[in-house]
Structure 1
Amino acid sequence: MNAKTVLPAVAMTAVSMVLTLAVVVMWLGTAVPWMVALVVGLGIDGGWLATLAYERRLAAQGDHSTPVTVVGWAFGAVATGVLVAHALTNSSSAAWLAVSWLPLAAKALWLVHGLWERTALTPRALESIRGIQQEARDDAAVARARLRADAATEETRLTAVTGAGARVARVQAATAVTLSKAWSTLETARAGEETGKALTSVTTPVTPGVTPRWELPVWGPSEPVRVPALEAVATDSDDALDVLVEEIRTSRTPPLSYREMSARFRAAGHSASEVRLRAAWKRVAA
């Protein structure tokens, strides 16, 4: 990279020095002896070359001198001025003006080379920078891959949860339909004419004079009802059972139904067979 900036500057400097020397000798050779013109041309080129060498020495030491830089640009301006003056006094002024910028161009190239030297990095530093950049690119690629994988995993999880929820909903719907059909069957059986006959044939030998009634079970969650005011009493006799059933039935207004009374009866800790309890209910309700 050093050669890419220094070689154009060296070539431009050599061309501009030769051109300056030739112009001075041709232009002043007609007015003064050519030896004098040669000395003048060499003086301009020598001063320019000397200041350039000193600038390069300071740059190699990491230093800079503003006066030396000003003197170097002054020599470049003088050389350019000589070329412009010669072009204006020559019949082919356009051609000479086209090359009169070469001294300043050479100084500009040396300026560019100096800027590059002040910002140049060693191969080791450049290798470290490339390694850091590559590591950053690798980390970014890994992060993107991780995000894509997480997104795919989340999508799969959501799909599975949605599918499971749909299956649960279908099972619940099918269960509700089954329960509904079963409940309808129970209700049909309870309301049927043959149900009473069947119950009568079974319960009549046990409880004469009691007409059985089949109540449907409670479908769904139910909370046990506590009756703190009622203490557990002996229900061995029918009279005691009748008194207890009457107290529970009339504990609320309007009186409780058989199902509610039975639930409170058993929640209070009393015990009696369903046949005796229903018979007591019939007696007190009558």
Structure 2
Amino acid sequence: MARPTALPAVTVTAVSLVLTLAVIMMWLGTAMPWPVALVVGLGIDGGWLATLAYERRLAAQGDHSTTVTAVGWSFGLLATGVLVAHALTVEADTGAWLAVAWLPLAAKALWLVHGMWERTALTPNALSAITGIQQEARDEAAVARARLRAEAAAEETRLTAVTQAGARVARIQAKTADALSRAWSTLETARNGEDTGRALTSVTTPVTPGVTPRWELPVWGPTEPVPTLALEAVPALTDEALDVLVDEIRHSETPALSYREMATRFRAAGHSASEVRLRAAWKRMVA
């Protein structure tokens, strides 16, 4: 009876029993002796209470009887019928009597609700365990959310750092390329200048008389290693022999080889000559 749904059911049941007995005494008391009317009222209320007590006993045992339930609802319908019949036969206050005629059925419905409450009620230990499980689930969810937010922030920081580093590298490369471009432009300007030609002529004329010097810029790219030669084992070539070798190597393929290709093949063949003599021979053959 300590359940929250038990008190309303008990209250409505008590009111319904008193109201049913009072109506039977007032309604049937005029047509029969009052002791007989009292017996009829007590019989209806007693049958109702007996079936209700039996239902509560079965419910306490975890059992159920359809027959007892049907008998209990029958007594409730009978009490409701008596109240409705009395309300329809009185000349005054018919609406008020009809308004309270539903109390027996309301009492049965409240006991039904109370029975459902008992079947689904849990002990305090079970409720405490459920509360702990729910709290643990909420804690785990909060920790997971915090971990995801932290990982997302760390990933964002890492991507930002990588992006900034990439931007710095790109800026450095751009500056380096610009510096190389300016340096290359300076070299090209110096090569094409008149002063450069006169300076080269003044330097190379004593070495290669009658040959117009030509200054070629270095190739910006991969180079081929030149094999080491035993210089002491290779005899020095005369200018005529050097010119013949340079011409043969230059015209060994069609179209004629460039100076670099010729020089590489010249030294790969085991011949020896200084860079100045070799270039001078090349220029003589080209001229």
Q: Scaled by the length of structure 1, what TM-score is found? A: 0.88
**Stretch moving more, 129-138 or 81-90:** 129-138
- CA distance in structure 2 between the partners assigned to 1:266 and 1:118 by the alignment: 106
CA offset digits 1:123-150 (Å, max 9, x no partner): 1111121122222222222222222222
Give the aligned partner of residue 157 of structure 2: 156
- CA distance in structure 2 between the partners assigned to 1:184 and 1:130 by the alignment: 80
**Stretch moving more, 117-126 or 184-193:** 184-193
Give the aligned partner of residue 181 of structure 1: 182
Aligned AA (1:252):
E
Secondary structure of the equivalent of 2:32?
coil
Give the aligned partner of residue 230 of structure 2: none
Give the aligned partner of residue 70 of structure 1: 70
Secondary structure of the equivalent of 1:251?
coil
CA separation of 1:265/1:168 partners in 2, compared to 1, >3 Å: closer, same or farther?
farther
- CA distance in structure 2 between the partners assigned to 1:146 and 1:97 by the alignment: 65
Give the aligned partner of residue 138 of structure 1: 139
CA separation of 1:31/1:266 partners in 2, compared to 1, >3 Å: closer, same or farther?
farther
Secondary structure of the equivalent of 2:135?
helix
- CA distance in structure 1 between the partners assigned to 2:180 and 2:12 by the alignment: 102
Deviation at 1:173, TM superposition (A): 1.5
Deviation at 1:87, TM superposition (A): 1.0
CA offset digits 1:57-101 (Å, max 9, x no partner): 010011111000000000101111111111111113211111111
- CA distance in structure 2 between the partners assigned to 1:266 and 1:130 by the alignment: 91
- The answer to whether the Cα contact below 8 Å between 2:16 and 2:103 also exists between their aligned partners in 1 is yes
Give the aligned partner of residue 229 of structure 1: none
Give the aligned partner of residue 191 of structure 2: 190
Give the aligned partner of residue 42 of structure 1: 42
- CA distance in structure 2 between the partners assigned to 1:178 and 1:271 by the alignment: 38
Aligned AA (2:100):
V
Aligned CA RMSD, in angstroms, stands at 2.5
Aligned length: 279
CA separation of 1:135/1:272 partners in 2, compared to 1, >3 Å: closer, same or farther?
farther
Which stretches in structure 1 are left out of the alignment for 5+ residues? Answer: 227-232
Secondary structure of the equivalent of 2:113?
helix
- CA distance in structure 2 between the partners assigned to 1:25 and 1:78 by the alignment: 15
**Stretch moving more, 263-272 or 111-120:** 263-272
CA separation of 1:132/1:216 partners in 2, compared to 1, >3 Å: closer, same or farther?
same
Which stretches in structure 2 are left out of the alignment for 5+ residues? Answer: 227-232
Aligned AA (2:46):
G
CA offset digits 1:162-213 (Å, max 9, x no partner): 2212211211111112111211221222222332333344344444444432
- The answer to whether the Cα contact below 8 Å between 2:51 and 2:68 also exists between their aligned partners in 1 is yes
- The answer to whether the Cα contact below 8 Å between 1:48 and 1:75 also exists between their aligned partners in 2 is yes
Aligned AA (2:187):
L
Secondary structure of the equivalent of 2:3?
helix
The within-5 A match list for 1:1-286 is 2-91=2-91, 92-219=93-220, 221-222=221-222, 224=224, 236-238=236-238, 241-265=242-266, 271-286=272-287
Deviation at 1:240, TM superposition (A): 5.0
Aligned AA (1:56):
R
Aligned AA (2:284):
R
Aligned AA (2:273):
A
- CA distance in structure 2 between the partners assigned to 1:285 and 1:162 by the alignment: 54
